[in-house]
Amino acid sequence: MTPYQEEDIVSNALDLISATSTWLLVRHQWLINTMRCVLTGENSQPLAELDQFDRLIPNNLKLPEHLVNRFAEVRASLEVSWEDAIKASHPMSGLTIFEQLNNYQALANLFMLASTEANHKLIREFAMRDSLTGARTRLTLTPCLNRELNHATRYSTPSTITLVDQDTFKSINDRWGHVMGDQVIKETAGIIQNNLRPTDKLFRYGGDEWLIVMPSTSEAETEKAIKRIEEVYVAHEFKSATGDSFFSTFSYGIAETNNHIDPEHWITEADSQLYKKKQEKRPT
């Protein structure tokens, strides 16, 4: 079970971005100072004195595997770029000062470009993916829905969105606490994502709400797909820290592209369908 809450994940994700920025900053400064030393004949700062990632990253990071893996990829890319950047010619190589300076300047520019791109990639990944679940965030939802609406209009091929809302989620938090609630959220996202097609997209729409985009899919086809996910979900056994087992359910509302004029209008229909499903489940 995940031993931390969503707030821990967000805080630690920011720690990693801060550590990466610091790592880059000291290296950018080293390259600039080294170019100055080439001109003045001074000794540049020893590389061993530069902050390393292992000294900058906090111990006991509380992060899900997808964020740890993404950071590891970016870190490896940055370290390779850095090794390339410090391969400039030795002062005793016989090159003139200007040739040495040109070497450092060229390598410094390459490193700065590569490092800036890698750092932006890390920031985009952390910002556009939900920190707890790995699902997409609402930052990219509107552009995605606009693309589907335009595609449906141009090719007369329907796409669908499905709003999914977990039932009685508040009671899970009240009984087992928010740490267990976060674990339920994480496992729910995994179940949905593992039963979608590669072309489908899962967004975390709210706390325990999800929005699924299914391109080139009719409402009837989507209904069948969501029913299959529902069968898997209701059979999934959740376990609390005390060893208690429990199950959960969800409600959903589906909406086709049809003649919707914008994403908000499209989502409103899905939300209306979701509300109807919720009402049907209420005891009479």
Half-sphere exposure of 176 (CA within 13 A, CB side): 20
Choose, from 167, 208, 262, 271, the residue flagged as catalytic.
Answer: 208
The continuous run of DSSP H or E covering 108 comes out as helix 97-128
Q: HEC string of 211-244? A: EEEECCCCHHHHHHHHHHHHHHHHCCCEECCCCC
| Per-residue confidence in pLDDT tens, the chain, 284 aa | 445 666 777 778 888 888 888 888 888 888 888 878 877 878 888 888 888 898 888 888 877 777 788 888 888 888 888 888 777 655 555 666 677 677 777 777 778 787 877 777 777 777 778 878 889 988 788 989 999 999 998 889 999 999 999 998 989 988 888 889 999 999 999 999 999 999 999 999 988 999 999 999 999 999 999 999 999 999 999 998 888 899 999 999 999 998 888 999 999 999 999 999 988 877 65
**Helix, strand, or coil here: 248?**
coil
Examine the residue annotation and report whether 165 is marked as an active-site residue of this protein. no
Nearest residue to 248 via CA among 257, 261, 239: 239
